[in-house]
Amino acid sequence: MGRVRVGVLISGRGSNLQTLIQAAQAPDYPAEIAYVIANVADAKGLDHAERAGIPACVISHKDFADRAAFDAALDAALRKAKIEIVCLAGFMRLLGKKFTEDWRDRVLNIHPSLLPAFPGLDTHRKAIEAGVKISGCTVHLVRPELDDGPILIQAAVPVAEDDTPETLAARVLEVEHRCYPLALRLLAAGAIRVTGKTTRHGATAPKGSLLNPGGTG
Ligand code: GAR
């Protein structure tokens, strides 16, 4: 069976894109990173795509009159590239209702907090100011509301008393890089069942991974 074609949308550094590219190099990985779109012309993450020989383009939101027109351009580019699943990886634009409904349950996002806590921008500063003792990351299916949608995977990290937004971000990023490839593996393998706000997954998580730490199954 062919691998699922994945498009990754980025706005900046692209470290999550890079972990997806690396994960997809495993022969048994059910998805291939087939296309990358940046909405920012000088997004550093475009270098990862180029190095990996993955087709990429820039579609700047600034070139469109409104969100609907920008979303339509993204949609057209993804369809032309025969993309089946979209991963938002540090993509800092909201997708509108039509796009999220047309691509329902086929768009993943990663957010650097334990949602539903601390959606939106400035996540780590908000977490530190709220005095939480753990934070983490969430991979979820995208719905029209910001950082909302059925959760596939979360991972937690401790918040240290002397953390700054930067030190906490770095700790959370480490678990992001473990969670995102795993979440995409599950979705691409067809293992995710969505019921309302909740998801369930089959026993396809690799042994020793976050979802199967004991290595059983
Ligand atoms: C990541 O920490 C990601 O969770 C966050 O932006 C960073 C992108 O890093 N995304 C959001 O805040 C979306 N709400 P990367 O470009 O190195 O993957």
Average confidence (pLDDT) per 10 residues, the chain, 217 residues: 93 98 97 98 98 98 97 98 98 96 98 98 98 98 93 98 98 98 97 94 62 54
Indicate if 48 belongs to the active site: no
Q: Is the CB of 147 under 6 A from ligand 1?
A: yes
Atom 12 in ligand 1: residue holding the nearest Cα = 111
The verdict on whether omega for the bond into residue 116 sits within 30 degrees of 0, i.e. cis, is yes
96 dihedral zone (left: phi>0; alpha: psi -120 to 50; beta): beta
169 CA closest ligand 1 atom index: 2
Contacts of 194 (CB under 8 A, 6+ apart): 105, 141, 150
Q: What is the pLDDT of residues 189-217, one digit of tens each?
A: 999 999 999 999 875 555 666 555 565 54
- Same domain flag for 199 and 153: yes
89 CA closest ligand 1 atom index: 18
Q: How far apart (Å, rounded) are the C-alpha atoms in residues 82 and 122?
A: 34
Q: How far apart (Å, rounded) are the C-alpha atoms in residues 163 and 159?
A: 7
Q: How far is the CA of 214 from the centre of ligand 1 (A)?
A: 29
- Same domain flag for 122 and 200: yes
Residue 203 forms part of a structural domain: yes
Task: Provide the number of structural domains found in the chain.
Answer: 2
Q: How far is the CA of 40 from the centre of ligand 1 (A)?
A: 14
Residue 216 forms part of a structural domain: no
- Same domain flag for 162 and 196: yes
Q: Is the CB of 148 under 6 A from ligand 1?
A: no
- Same domain flag for 72 and 121: no
Q: Is the CB of 14 under 6 A from ligand 1?
A: yes
Atom 7 in ligand 1: residue holding the nearest Cα = 90
In this predicted structure, what is the pLDDT of residue 203? 55
Question: Catalytic pick from 48, 61, 111, 177?
Answer: 111
**Domain at 125, CATH number:** 3.40.50.170
In this predicted structure, what is the pLDDT of residue 2? 87
Q: How far is the CA of 90 from the centre of ligand 1 (A)?
A: 4
Q: Is the CB of 146 under 6 A from ligand 1?
A: no
Residue 217 forms part of a structural domain: no
Cβ atoms of 135 and 114 closer than 8 Å = yes
Q: Of 69, 103, 137, which residue is a domain's last?
A: 103
Q: Is the CB of 111 under 6 A from ligand 1?
A: yes
Q: Is the CB of 136 under 6 A from ligand 1?
A: no
- DSSP 8-state assignment for residue 160: P
In this predicted structure, what is the pLDDT of residue 99? 98
Domain that holds residue 156: 109-211
In this predicted structure, what is the pLDDT of residue 207? 61
